[in-house]
């Protein structure tokens, strides 16, 4: 599933291609997404201009003029790209927005867990995302992060995957941040000290920043908004490296299941 670095990369790729562009025609595929597209939205969108594109957690927000918004979630295999019309439209493309420059904004999703939804007002967007998302990692208040972790009996891995604790972190970057902080994924939040929390908070920011610089991680389907792949998968320290030597101590990386997800860690560098 695309996480914050992948979604941020898509947004940065699309921003110069979409800002100021007008939607002229909207084509909707027959297969339904997880949150079905409504026919009435197409009529409301036609003729709208994209004034800005931004990210919140793992969600992409297109702000439109006149006032309206599209909220996009890539799900597990979603791709949101701008293509010229001479590039064949691949299978599993569910929405095609023709732009006034002749290019096409396409939403493709093989497994159909993603979604594209129309909202009339900014307040509706804020309410929708506010119920689902906690603070962004880059401006996460230290005290709030401490309280979220130290007041919980859940594992650190479960807490990092909880989008209401910190927005945008998923399985890959939770594993990478925990390794960088030297913390075991099964450690309980209420066993943490304030120093532990600060170390983890900083590790999350560093890992996500490095991943964004590498255009995210391409494991299977992920591509950026311009169709380019990510490169951070070549820099993984623990994720997907079961049995390989730790980059710090050469101890073989182990994999366990925590919070219903595979978790990778070094048993020497991340002792409980």
Active site residues: 2-3, 58, 261
Cα 182 to chain center, whole Å?
Answer: 24
Cα 130 to chain center, whole Å?
Answer: 16
Percentage helix, strand, coil, to 5, in the chain?
Answer: 30, 25, 45
Look at the block and give the residue holding tokens 């309980």: 188
Token digits for 77? 């295999």
Q: List the strands of the sheet with 93-99, edge to edge.
A: 23-28, 93-99, 104-109, 78-83
Distance CA 46, CA 226 (A): 23
Partners of residue 54 on adjacent β-strands? 61
The residue length of the chain stands at 272
Token digits for 17? 């291609």
């Amino acid at each position: 599933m695309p996480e914050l670095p992948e979604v941020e990369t898509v947004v940065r790729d699309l921003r110069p291609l979409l800002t100021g562009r007008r939607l002229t025609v909207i084509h909707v595929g027959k297969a339904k997404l997880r949150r079905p597209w409504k026919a009435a939205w197409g009529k409301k969108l036609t003729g709208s201009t994209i004034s800005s594109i931004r990210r919140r957690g793992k969600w992409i927000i297109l702000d439109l003029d006149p006032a309206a918004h599209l909220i996009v979630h890539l799900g597990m295999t979603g791709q949101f790209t701008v293509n010229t019309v001479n590039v064949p439209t691949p299978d599993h493309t569910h929405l095609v927005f023709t732009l006034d420059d002749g290019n096409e904004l396409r939403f493709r999703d093989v497994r159909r867990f993603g979604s594209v939804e129309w909202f009339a007002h900014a307040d509706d967007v804020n309410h929708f995302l506010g119920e689902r998302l906690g603070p962004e990692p880059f401006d996460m208040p230290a005290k709030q992060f401490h309280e979220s972790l130290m007041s919980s009996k859940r594992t650190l891995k479960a807490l990092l995957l909880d989008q209401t604790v910190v927005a945008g972190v998923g399985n890959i970057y939770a594993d990478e941040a925990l390794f960088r902080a030297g913390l075991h994924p099964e450690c309980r939040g209420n066993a943490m000290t304030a120093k532990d929390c600060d170390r983890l908070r900083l590790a999350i920011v560093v890992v996500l920043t490095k991943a964004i610089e590498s255009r995210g991680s391409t494991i299977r389907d992920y591509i950026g908004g311009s169709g380019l792949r990510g490169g951070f998968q070549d820099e993984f320290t623990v994720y997907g490296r079961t049995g390989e030597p730790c980059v710090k101590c050469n101890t073989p990386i182990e994999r366990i299941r925590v919070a219903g997800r595979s978790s990778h860690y070094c048993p020497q560098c991340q002792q409980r």
